[in-house]
Amino acid sequence: MTPRVPYLSARLQGFGTTIFAEMSALAVRTGSINLGQGFPDTDGPAAVADAAVAAIRAGHNQYPPGAGIPELRAAVADHQRRFWDMELDPESEVLITAGATEAITAALLALCEVGDEVVAFEPTYDSYRPAAAMAGATLRVVTLQAPDYGFDPAELTAAITPRTRLVLLNSPHNPTGKVFDEAELDLIARLCVEHDLLAVTDEVYEHMVFDGRHQPLAMRPGMAERTLTVSSAGKTFSFTGWKIGWACGPADLVAAVRTAKQFLTYVNGAPFQPAVVVGLGLDDAYFGEFRDTLAAKRDLLCDGLEKVGFEVHRPAGTYFATTDIRPLGFDDGIAFCRSLPERCGVVAVPSAVFYERPDGGRHLVRFTFCKRDEILTEALSRLEALS
Ligand SMILES: Cc1ncc(COP(=O)(O)O)c(C=O)c1O
């Protein structure tokens, strides 16, 4: 008999970061503060929200152009030049997608052959492995070692095989908060050039760097012609539900991703696209304040977690902090997170779900700090019950 759940979907279920759904349901059932999933509890800039409302009222409600509205493609190109010195032709080198998630999945579908390998760093954002599987490719991971999340160059070199098609790099990195530094980017770039690999970079946290600075891999020597840079308005403007993202880079790569997108969503977010144009055009003060506000939240949460007794791996970027629970007398992050709502009324995410290695991230737990200060303070006071 033909199985009712065919191979691919059964396999994808096995990648189950159903833990997010489980934790969010637990948060609701127990009335807990949810510091699990990364979404802000305040809206982004009013001017951007107003622009979306105005766009709906002005009738921007039908299918937009397949590559995205020209104004948004131009705004993305301007943004890449303004912040990262990247030159792009908005006509052929920018594609608007349904969030970064679609950009990454469409990129893997478009750029990988069945049997290809994709090199990524573990812990990995949860969509990477299933996206590779949907493309018939497999992920080979290089481990970022806690607590500093450096990696062994030899491990990266060894991860590259004749089947390697591309490197999928996330910096600033979720869940660790690591920001890849110049030497690391140079090494990755050198290996990409040497082995003629493509790169897909997930830079959704590009405007959340507190220590060091964000540097797109595409700007390293030899990389512009082989890199697809992905980002999203969801994180930068705190409208994660709008799902407006983009992929930019060489025209042939962008055209390939556009073909995959055409048969995934075709187009997306008509009224949100003009609103994101407004967001991308905000002045430097917006981007600076956004970063500084989050840096203060990072310190509020991390200082508090340290006081409670966690070992805190203070992130250089993103809105996540990883903690080691062993100093509090626990050692299994999954069990810890399952019991935390009942115990303290707080939800967090076990980092183990971001690892492929059986024991990877076992003692680690991730908290988000993109919440109002009073919510973070209340969560910390509830967590004091652990001390
Ligand atoms: C590393 C990373 N990439 C991509 C995404 C998803 O981005 P989007 O909502 O634009 O699809 C997230 C969201 O948490 C993320 O952390």
**247 C-beta closer than 6 A to ligand 1:** no
Q: How far is the CA of 126 from the centre of ligand 1 (A)?
A: 9
Helix (H, G, I), strand (E, B), or coil: what is residue 56?
helix
Task: Please give the pLDDT value at position 22.
Answer: 84
Task: Please give the pLDDT value at position 190.
Answer: 98
**Is 80 exceeded by the pLDDT of residue 11?**
no
For 63, other C-beta atoms within 10 Å of its C-beta total: 9
Q: How far is the CA of 168 from the centre of ligand 1 (A)?
A: 14
pLDDT band at 1; cut points 50, 70, 90: low
Taking CA atoms only, the protein residue closest to ligand 1 atom 10 is: 99
In 44-194, the DSSP E strands lie at: 94-97, 117-122, 138-143, 164-170
Residue 224 CA neighbour count, 13 Å, CB half: 10
**101 C-beta closer than 6 A to ligand 1:** yes
Q: How far is the CA of 385 from the centre of ligand 1 (A)?
A: 32
**179 C-beta closer than 6 A to ligand 1:** no
Whole-number percent of the chain with pLDDT over 90: 91
Task: Please give the pLDDT value at position 23.
Answer: 84
Are residues 215 and 201 in contact, defined by beta-carbon separation less than 8 angstroms? Answer: no
**274 C-beta closer than 6 A to ligand 1:** no
Q: How far is the CA of 100 from the centre of ligand 1 (A)?
A: 6
Query: Reading across the β-sheet that carries 164-170, which strands appear in turn?
Result: 94-97, 245-248, 227-232, 198-202, 164-170, 117-122, 138-143
**206 C-beta closer than 6 A to ligand 1:** no
Task: Render pLDDT for 137-148 as a digit per residue (tens, 0 to 9).
Answer: 999 999 999 999
**174 C-beta closer than 6 A to ligand 1:** yes
Q: How far is the CA of 101 from the centre of ligand 1 (A)?
A: 6
Task: Please give the pLDDT value at position 157.
Answer: 98
**236 C-beta closer than 6 A to ligand 1:** no
Q: Mean of the per-residue pLDDT values for the chain?
A: 95
Average pLDDT over residues 311-328: 98
Per-residue burial over 328-344, b = 16 or more CB atoms within 10 Å of its CB, e = otherwise: bebeebbebbbebbeeb
Query: Which one is predicted more confidently, 12 or 354?
Result: 354
Q: Which residues contact 126 (CB under 8 A, 6 or more apart)?
A: 15, 17, 20, 353, 354
pLDDT band at 174; cut points 50, 70, 90: very high
**Is 80 exceeded by the pLDDT of residue 170?**
yes
Task: Render pLDDT for 203-218 as a digit per residue (tens, 0 to 9).
Answer: 999 999 999 999 999 9
Which residue matches tokens 């992905």?
230
Task: Please give the pLDDT value at position 20.
Answer: 79
Q: How far is the CA of 204 from the centre of ligand 1 (A)?
A: 6
